[in-house]
Every structure is written in C-alpha cells, then in structure tokens.
C-alpha cells in the first residue's frame, strides 16, 4: 500500500485496498482527514526506536511509548526540542487489530472535548498500525489509586474533580450526536494531567448505541471483568446505561482505592461492586470502604452523598440508573458543596 509522505494528511492519502475487509465506507475514512498521517520512521525516531525506557503503558490491544515531535513540522525531535506525545502500537491479531485501530481513528477524529484524550494522528503503513495521542503527564487514574508504590496525593477534592471530569466526558459521548458507548470505562482508561484533569482514553471497543425505537444493541460481550453491567454480561444488551454502570465501579475505586476485582479473605476473587454495596447502604459500615490513605480528611456526610451516586449507577436495572447528564449534575453539586466547605474552613483559620 502507499506510504504517507512527510507532512501528508489523511485526506491526501489513497484509501488502502484492504479497507473493504473492515466493512467501512470511504466517507467514514475521510472523516479522519484533519488528523496527521505519520510515517513509521518518524514515530520510530520520535520514540528512540521504541526504546524500552520510553514504554509508558501496556494494554490488551497494544503498547504505548513516549516520544517527542517538533512544534513546527511535527517531525521526530529530542526531548529538549519538542513536545511530548504518546504513541500506541496496535497489536495485529488478524482483523481484530485493524478494527481496534480503525475504531479509535473513526471515533476520536470526530470528538473534541476537554475530558476526552486528543488524537493527533496515526500511522497506517505496511503492517504497522499506530495512533499518536497527546501525552498525559499524570499517568492513569489506576496508577494513582492502585499502585502500591504510588506516592500520589489524591485527596478528596482531587478525587471529586476527577469524577466530575470523567462524567462530563461520558455525558458528551452519550449525547453529542449519535450516542457513542465506550464499552471499556475503567480506571486504567482514565488519564490525568498535572492538574488532575481527567480524560477518557482507549476507544478500541467503542460502538454506536441504539437509535429511534431501538431499546438496545445486541452484541458480543467485550471489556474488562469487574466493570460489566449485569444486562450486558448476561444478555449482550448494550445501551449507554452500561457505561453508567462501569462508571459506578470507577467511582467505587475512587472511594475505596481498591481494584474492580479484589481478593476476598478466603482467597477467592470477586467483583468490588458486589462486595461494597452492603457497606454503601449502611452509614455505620461506610468507613470500611473509604480509602485509608484519605485518613480523617473526608467527612462521613460527604462520603454518604457520594455513595448515593455510586449506588444509583450500580443499580441492577438499567432503566433505574441515571443518565450521565444526571450524574454530572449530582457530582457538580457535590463538588460545589466541597468548595464552599473548604472556603469556610480556610476562612476560619
């Protein structure tokens, strides 16, 4: 297939002959024309030949390397001369790798939101499938919450800020144009900057939701254990409410500092949501699910209000779960109350 020339954009690149294998329309491909088309050599040089010291993440679909590009021409640069990027190399597993790569290009080329990671460009050259993203300096939410050696200072105020950011991003996906369901919302797919602004990443499993009179989309179950909505894992029924459930699990991780799948005292693995629900419903037992690193720096009243939002998202019936727009309102109210409390606290010192 033809290779991208330096500076060439997708709109100028001939559509590869094997696109039809992926069952897409030419018009969809051309939606990505605003993205930069990178050559393999540029990304190889930008990451110092994909040096293991630049490896910043590993996932089910590929590895992510840190690299640098020049500001003016977006060619490979040294770290002291350019801006940082994240290069995701998609593992090609038959058509699956191509579909994953194409999903991210198709959806992220159309999305412009402060709480969704920005896709800068891509590489489609010979057997190479890569994606180039803005570099998120704060790593993932999972890094801060779940890594034993993490020195993160995620106080309650920052955790609420992160929750609000994720909720706003999901609300945008569900309501801007045709509903887009992420299908893999989890703490490792939430990236942070230095100011703890959250951005949703990894759209490899995303797909459009039901429209018109359709109540759901029937599909095979994909995603990550511990985050699956009941109706999705048992019947394959997919709606935006499946993302709401997954978000509820992320909220629970934010509250507890535990992984979505945790080991019980007897050694068996179980879902965090099922373990935590009884504690969330009982104010006396609520302290059992509060991250110990928070200490006494969060009130039971604030946690109780947060827990109500968590429980609503984790409702077994999708119809009874709130929309992400409703969740945004609830979390923003919680954030405002927290800001007022902190202002009064500092004012009294």
- Per the annotation, where are the binding residues for ATP? 88
Question: Are the beta carbons of 52 and 41 closer than 8 angstroms?
Answer: no
Q: With the CA atoms of 226, 150, 160 and 162 taken in that order, what torsion angle do they form, in degrees rounded to the nearest 10?
A: -80
Specify binding-site residues for Mg(2+).
189, 202
DSSP conformation letters of 181-203: E-S---GGGEEE-TT--EEE---
Mind telling me the catalytic residues? 184
In the chain, alpha helices (H): 26-30, 40-46, 95-108, 141-146, 156-175, 230-235, 240-256, 272-280, 300-313, 324-347
- Name the residue among 174, 94, 91, 167 with its Cα closest to residue 334: 167
Half-sphere exposure of 61 (CA within 13 A, CB side): 26
User: Could you give the C-alpha distances from 126 to 13, 123, 130, 170, in angstroms and in order?
Assistant: 14, 9, 11, 34
As a whole number of angstroms, the distance between CA 235 and CA 274 comes to 19
Which residue is it, tokens 């779940």? 146
Number of alpha helices (DSSP H) and beta strands (DSSP E) in the chain: 10, 14
Specify binding-site residues.
88, 189, 202
Q: What is the DSSP letter of 71?
A: T
Residue positions counted in the chain? 349
């Amino acid at each position: 297939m033809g290779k991208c020339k330096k500076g060439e954009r997708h709109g100028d690149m001939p559509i590869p002959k094997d696109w039809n294998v992926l069952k897409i329309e030419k018009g969809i491909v051309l939606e990505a024309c605003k993205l930069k088309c990178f050559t393999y050599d540029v990304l190889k040089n930008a990451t110092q030949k994909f040096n293991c010291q630049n490896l910043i993440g590993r996932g089910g679909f590929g590895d992510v390397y840190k690299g640098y590009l020049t500001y003016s021409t977006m060619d490979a640069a040294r770290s002291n001369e350019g801006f940082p990027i994240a290069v995701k190399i998609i593992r090609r597993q038959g058509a699956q790798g191509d579909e994953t790569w194409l999903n991210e290009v198709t959806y992220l080329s159309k999305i412009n939101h402060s709480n969704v990671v920005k896709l800068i460009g891509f590489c489609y050259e010979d057997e190479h499938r890569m994606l180039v993203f803005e570099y998120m300096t704060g790593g993932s939410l999972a890094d801060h919450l779940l890594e034993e050696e993490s020195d993160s200072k995620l106080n309650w105020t920052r955790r609420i800020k992160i929750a609000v950011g994720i909720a706003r991003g999901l609300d945008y996906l569900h309501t801007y144009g045709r509903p887009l369901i992420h299908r893999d919302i989890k703490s490792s797919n939430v990236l942070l900057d230095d100011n703890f602004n959250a951005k949703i990443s990894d759209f490899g499993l995303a797909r459009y939701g039901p429209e018109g009179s359709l109540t759901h989309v029937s599909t095979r179950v994909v995603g990550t254990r511990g985050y699956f909505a009941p109706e999705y894992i048992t019947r394959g029924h997919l709606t935006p409410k499946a993302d709401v459930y997954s978000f509820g699990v992320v909220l629970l991780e934010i509250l507890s500092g535990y992984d979505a799948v945790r080991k019980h005292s007897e050694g068996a693995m179980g879902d965090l949501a099922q373990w935590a629900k009884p504690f969330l419903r009982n104010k006396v037992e609520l302290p059992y699910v509060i991250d110990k690193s928070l200490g006494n720096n969060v009130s039971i009243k604030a946690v109780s209000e947060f827990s109500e939002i968590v429980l609503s998202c984790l409702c077994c019936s999708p119809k009874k779960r709130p929309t992400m727009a409703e969740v945004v309102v609830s979390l923003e109210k919680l954030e405002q109350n927290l800001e007022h409390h902190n202002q009064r606290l500092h004012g009294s010192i």
